[in-house]
Amino acid sequence: MQTVFEIDHPLVHHHLTHLRNKESTPHIFRSQVRRLAVLLAAEATRDLPLRSKTIETPLTEMEGTVLDVRIGLVPILRAGLGMTDAVLDLLPTAEVWHLGFYRDEHTLKPVGYYQKFSSHPPDIVFVLDPMLATGGSAVAGIQRVKDWGAKEIRMISIIAAPEGIASVREAHPNVKIYVCKIDAGLNDSAYIVPGLGDAGDRIFNTFV
């Protein structure tokens, strides 16, 4: 079963270049995150189940089709928030459940600080985080979603390192991963290279 999907699309290449560019201001960066999140979500929802629905157009009655699944979005704070509204525009009935992790700058391990889940998980959960670096945050986030009881989980990231992809595949072999680009690797500080820098800081303009 294919579990890693790297989207090869001219719009992805175009918008990703503007996203990576260090000259892109937070305003531009946020727009690019949203555009790429839509393109990723279109790919990650390609096989969602449908049911038929009878409607009337201004001309006639017809059988249409609508989504037939309870969908949850789980953005990993903070940077995952940058993708959430864009994906919600495509999936307006989705529920949004938040998960907070930051990466400890010394140990590089994810530290959980927030979780807001309901008692009944959705049928399918899309975990949103633009960066999949060591994979620590994604592995821990997906584990929380699994512990919640979700049966179908998909990871949506804009840029991944091969190391992050490998660790998610090892820990969660059934989780499909959708990315715009798998980059060359990680530097000594576990930043993705060529990457785009710190996604959270670039979205929220929090450089110190």
Residues that bind ligand URA (CB under 6 A): 131, 133, 191-192, 195, 198-200
Q: Is 70 a catalytic residue?
A: no
- Supply the DSSP string of the chain, one letter for each residue: ---EEE---HHHHHHHHHHH-TT--HHHHHHHHHHHHHHHHHHHTTT--EEEEEEE-SS-EEEEEEE-S-EEEEEEETTTHHHHHHHHHHSTT-EE-EEEEEE-TTT--EEEEEEE--SS--SEEEEE-SEESSSHHHHHHHHHHHHHT-SEEEEEEEEE-HHHHHHHHHH-TT-EEEEEEE-SEE-TTS-EESS-S-HHHHHHT---
Catalytic residue among 103, 144, 154, 202: 103
103 is catalytic: yes
- Give min distance, CB of 78 to ligand URA, in A: 10
Residue 55 or 111: the one with the smaller Cβ distance to ligand PRP is: 111
Closest approach, Cβ 203 to ligand URA, in A, equals 9
Tell me, yes or no, if 201 is annotated catalytic. Answer: yes
Where on the chain is the footprint of ligand PRP (CB under 6 A)?
Answer: 76-79, 101-103, 108, 110, 129-138, 164, 190, 198-200
Closest to ligand URA by CB, 71 vs 133, is 133
107: annotated active-site residue: yes
* Catalytic residue annotation: 103, 107, 198, 201
